[in-house]
């Protein structure tokens, strides 16, 4: 079975390490915060100027001056810090964030990512996504492997305008965990019950399959 | 006003000198930490043809969105827009010029502008539509694009607390773009929730020094929440 949104988040959470500073994008990446392993300390960076994002507030804690990058009201975790937007992006662009997780429409074998703009449709903007993909070294893209109509989103060349060029090395889809290197996709793991053939069929860009591909453990 | 006292007593006085076709740099992220009363004053004045530099453009009836119905904004430089219907209509009809700018680049454009740096190289946006028409250069084998900084005719800023000299303290994530905006205006106008006497703020805890501030006004704030998200107690 293809992974649910929660299961994608669960698998991404396995990539966390104790002491990591992490930036989670809007959508599935946000769910990763629900699966931080017991006993592990992870600090969440919100690019509007908060390091150490806490859970959502209770009615009593609600504060209009404290929001996340998705403009939702939040709280601060113990040891949090607040800074301005230039400082926030100095952290991001300076490569100080240990792990960035964000969504995409398409990725390709050269590590290009398209995630903010579909020509002809309403363009809302890239927000901080271009800074995140250009600034971070360790990025995981979460996305569905193919459209509802079976059109692959893992391509030899992105068709949509790019968010970043040559910056993506890891992609977790609802079907597979994939590494990008040497201009090719490399299959690392498959979703439970999904065959290598199914993944190959839905991957338009060149996919290297070496040996037995293990199932993800969730 | 005398000496370093920046306090003005009316919003009319606060925004005096703003005229058609000027560039205004604004603080705020979504509806958090926006100079809501200064924006309302721009609407009241009816100033037109403005270029706005702001991370977002408010919602239909709050924040910068209220400047849309009377077509007061000619161009907006922002990282994320479209949270309101009138904005979408004007953008699709080609009535509003939108320059989408990555959030970190936008913050740095304001910071650099305020610091007298005309342009800077960044990897952000290289190889994307943002890079079109911009100079590219390699440093240590990596590709960068040249981005020009921004200085506005006016900067409008929301801070939490100030002393009469314009030393500012921000509160929580309402800080966001405000400190950079404060440096990036030829005339910087700040509205705050509380004004104290000089000496009452701890100099070590001041976020923005009064040197950047030209006018200061005490306001009342609605502080509307865009995405009210709560958990059960």
DSSP assignment of B207-223 equals: SB-GGG-SEEEE-----
Does residue A121 carry a pLDDT above 90?
Answer: no
B108 close to B147: Cβ distance less than 8 angstroms: yes
Helices B103-114/A85-93 angle, 10° precision: 120
Of A117, A127, A163, the CB nearest to B79: A127
Contact list in B for residue A126 (CB cut-off 8 A) is 79-80, 100, 102-103, 130
Tell me which residue in A59, A76, A124 faces B80 most closely, judged by beta carbons.
Answer: A124
Q: Which residues of A are catalytic?
A: 47
Residue of A46, A70, A119, A134 to mutate, interface with B, max B Cβ within 10 Å: A134
Return d(Cα A31, Cα A18) in angstroms, integer: 18
Assign A122 a pLDDT band (cuts: 50, 70, 90).
confident
Within 141-160 of B, beta carbons closer than 8 Å to A belong to 143, 160
- Smallest CA–CA distance, residue A66 to chain B, in Å, is 5
SS3 of B62, please? strand
CA distance A197 to chain B (A): 33
The tens digit of pLDDT for each residue in B112-165 reads: 999 999 999 999 999 999 999 999 999 999 999 999 999 999 999 999 999 999
Question: From the candidates A80, A84, A88, A121, which should be mutated to test the interface with B, based on the most B CB atoms within 10 A?
Answer: A84
Note whether B225 contacts A73, CB cutoff 8 Å: yes
**Euclidean distance between CA atoms A179 and A181, whole angstroms:** 7
- Dist CA A105 CA A130 (whole Å): 14
- Average pLDDT (B34-53) is 98
Q: Which of A67, A107, A118 to mutate to test the interface with B (most CBs of B within 10 A)?
A: A67
SS3 labels along chain A: CCCCHHHHHHHHHCCCCCCEEEEECCCHHHHHHHHCCCCCCEEEEECCCEEEECCCCCCCCCCCCCECCCCEECCEEEEEEECCHHHHHHHHHCCCCCEEEEECCEEECCCCEECCCCCCCCCCCCCCHHHHHHHCCCEEEEECCECCCCCECEECCCCCCCCECCCCCEEEECCEEEEEECCEEEEEEECCCCCHHHHHHCCCCCEECCCCCCECCC
Instruction: Report, as an integer, the average pLDDT of A136-144.
Output: 95
A-chain residues within 8 Å CB-CB of B55?
Answer: 85
| Beta carbons of B230 and A164 less than 8 Å apart | no
Residue B50, SS3 per DSSP: strand
Give me the pLDDT at residue A123, please: 81
pTM equals 0.97
Q: Which of residues 177-216 of A touch B (CB under 8 A)?
A: none
Whether the per-residue pLDDT at A14 is higher than 70: the answer is: yes
Residue B1 has pLDDT above 60, yes or no: no
Lowest mean pLDDT among A166-180, B1-15, B64-78: B1-15
């Amino acid at each position: 079975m293809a992974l649910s949104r929660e299961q994608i988040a669960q698998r991404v959470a396995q990539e966390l390490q104790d002491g990591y500073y992490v930036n989670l994008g809007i959508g599935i990446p946000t769910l990763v915060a629900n699966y931080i392993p017991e006993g592990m300390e992870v600090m969440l960076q919100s690019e509007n100027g908060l390091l150490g994002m806490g859970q959502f507030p209770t009615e009593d804690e609600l504060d209009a001056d404290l929001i996340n990058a998705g403009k939702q009201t939040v709280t601060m975790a113990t040891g949090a810090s607040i800074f301005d937007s230039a400082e926030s992006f100095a952290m991001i662009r300076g490569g100080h964030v240990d792990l960035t997780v964000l969504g995409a429409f398409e990725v390709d074998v050269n590590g290009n990512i398209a995630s903010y703009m579909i020509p002809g449709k309403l363009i809302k903007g890239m927000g901080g996504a271009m800074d995140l993909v250009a600034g971070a070294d360790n990025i995981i893209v979460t996305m569905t492997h193919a459209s509802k109509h079976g059109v692959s989103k893992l391509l030899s060349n992105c068709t949509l305008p790019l968010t970043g060029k040559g910056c993506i090395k890891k992609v977790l889809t609802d079907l597979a965990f994939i590494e990008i290197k040497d201009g090719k996709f490399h299959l690392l793991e498959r979703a439970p019950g999904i065959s290598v053939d199914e993944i190959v069929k839905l991957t338009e860009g060149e996919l290297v399959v070496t040996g037995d591909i293990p199932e993800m453990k969730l | 006003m005398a000496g370093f006292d920046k306090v003005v007593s009316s919003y009319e006085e606060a925004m005096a000198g703003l005229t058609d076709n000027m560039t205004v740099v604004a603080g705020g992220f979504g509806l958090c930490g926006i100079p809501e009363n200064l924006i309302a004053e721009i609407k009241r004045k009816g100033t037109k043809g403005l270029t706005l530099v702001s991370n977002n453009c408010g919602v239909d009836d709050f924040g910068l969105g209220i400047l849309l119905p009377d077509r007061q904004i000619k161009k907006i430089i922002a990282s994320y827009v479209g949270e309101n219907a009138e904005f979408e209509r004007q953008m699709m009809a080609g009535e509003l010029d939108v320059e989408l700018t990555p959030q970190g680049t936008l913050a740095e454009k304001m910071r650099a502008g305020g610091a007298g740096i005309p342009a800077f190289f960044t990897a952000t946006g290289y190889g994307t539509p943002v890079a079109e028409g911009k100079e590219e250069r390699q440093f240590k084998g990596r590709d960068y694009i040249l981005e020009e900084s921004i200085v506005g005719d006016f900067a409008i800023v929301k801070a939490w607390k100030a002393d009469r000299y314009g030393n500012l303290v921000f509160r929580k994530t309402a800080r966001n773009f405000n400190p950079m905006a404060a440096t990036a205006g030829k005339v910087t106008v700040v509205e705050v929730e509380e004004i104290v006497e000089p000496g009452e703020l701890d100099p070590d805890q001041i976020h923005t020094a009064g040197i950047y501030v030209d006018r200061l006004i005490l306001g009342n704030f609605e502080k509307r929440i865009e995405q009210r998200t709560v958990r059960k107690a």
